[in-house]
Structure 1
Amino acid sequence: MSEHLGAGERILRAEVLHGGITAEMRRLTIGTPDGGTRHLVLRSFVDPIYVEQAEDALTREADALTLLAGTDVLAPGLVAVDPTAVRCEYPSLLMTHVAGRSILDDEGVESRVPLLARQLVSIHALRPAEQPREFKTLTTPESVVVPEGADAVAWAAAIDVIREPAPPYEGRFLHRDFQPGNVLFDVPPARPADARITAVVDWAATSWGPADLDVAHCCTNLALLHGPHWGLRFVEAYEEAGGVLASVASERLYWLVRDGLSCSEEVHLWAQAWQGAGRTDLTTRDLEQRLDTYVTTLINTLA
């Protein structure tokens, strides 16, 4: 990696960044010849489960960061990428460090949701010269994990929803993991209502598909982080920001339910990641109960 540093620069230390699931993140402090410092971020796929996906994911992220450099969407700058671990111990991507932090706390969520919505509308407005690959949804009716004590009738209805073919849609550029953990904010001390977005990170799953799917994923995250009602509130915020979603309730329901059910398979991983990022109050059981309430609300509201 030294070839990507300036003359006379050296790595002083590496700090682990918490909150991710698929990759390890480290903030590198670089010493400069004048005695100052600057920072870079190294994203590495270390877990054997995810290393198999690394080449595709890092290549897509590098392509996305290159695209975003010429747009109004705030994102880190690409420094270098080694998707097959030719020079690095693990498949890795090196990017510029952007000031700000992800905020997962409940305080100030009402002011952050409109910011998230406006940012996602901007992402969906991008028209890359080369269309990324079509989106994937791996969840099947058979793979859904119904939480203990869940509303059996609502979950059976939700599973029936995803037995149907996907509704028609107009394709958009998708982040595909747009959620509070992948958005950095700058928040003035004691003024959470004045928060502003400084960057959107983790572009490894960029794809082409319905805006509803990106919105649905953020809805699920907000519902589990802050309470089930914040899921549907984000749908409203997205439309208030100028975003366009499916006009038919059954089509909206399909994407919202599909993402909620996909979370059921790995809710324990979400709990681990959020606890590592400071939300120690959110246990796996808490998230299962919130997911049950959220899925039930979707069925009762939109079905």
Structure 2
Amino acid sequence: MRRLIGFLVILAVVVAVALWFLSAPGRLDEAAFADLGTADLARGEEMFWAGGCASCHAAPGAKGDDKLTLSGGLAIKSDFGTFYAPNISPDTQAGIGDWTFRQFAEAMKKGTSPEGTHLYPSFPYTSYTRIAMSDLNDMWGYLQTLPASDNVAPDHALGFPFNIRRAVGLWNLLYLRNGAVIDFASPDEAVSRGQYLVEGPGHCGECHTPRSLIGGLELGEWLAGATNPDGEGIIPNITPDGSIKSWSAGDIAYYLESGFTPDFDTAGGSMVSVQENMAKLPASDREAIAAYLKAIPGRPNGYPARSN
């Protein structure tokens, strides 16, 4: 019996050490930062809107130029608790003004904070990890030109065990992936560009894809719709078999530009902010997003009750 107990103790220690190393925050290799050059601020602004930064990090209810002050504070409700979007303005105390580009890139692509702890995936780094380093460099340069704010966002309101950040490292092992979601045999230029925007900076799947019990995206049901994390209703299925089945690529592109559907309805809920962001992109990018959405596999609705 003593030998058995001793063995179990040793096994528990070995497992604990293994889990500690497996759950370590991710880092980027030095080679990832080579040959980036000076940031293209115009390109950085486009990536800022493509990434939807203002939708979460501007003050709740901000309009117009006030959306460029990324003071944080938006409450993001979930089954795991309430997350609050942080201040990412250039303020050196309340914001990210004292971050380096490496720290910014590791937050975006690895979900790792400057302090070496895990960020929670309410911040969509699982999508942002697909953003090219050159685009991150441009975005970082643009963020430095925005107004500073000394607002201190509230701490996340999470209960046990969801307040254990180290556990996010194990979650990352399951859900943090760099590769493309959809494997196209030979996509044309527009579809490839649309794939980059939708799967990466646009992080469309973060809302439009159903999630597992522990909050990971069910990639086999990519963009098939999901229950609304903010309350009642659903986030629609935007595959070719979903709510936009009858829309043409032109209809999709026009909706992203104007907010008007082919039936003369308008964007609602959190999609209002997303559409306003997309309206600031070049027309070719909106057309590329539409081409991608028409090219992906159709799926049954990913929210209860599912239909065929």
- What is the TM-score of this pair, normalised by structure 2? 0.28
Q: Which has the higher strand share?
A: 1
Larger radius of gyration: 2
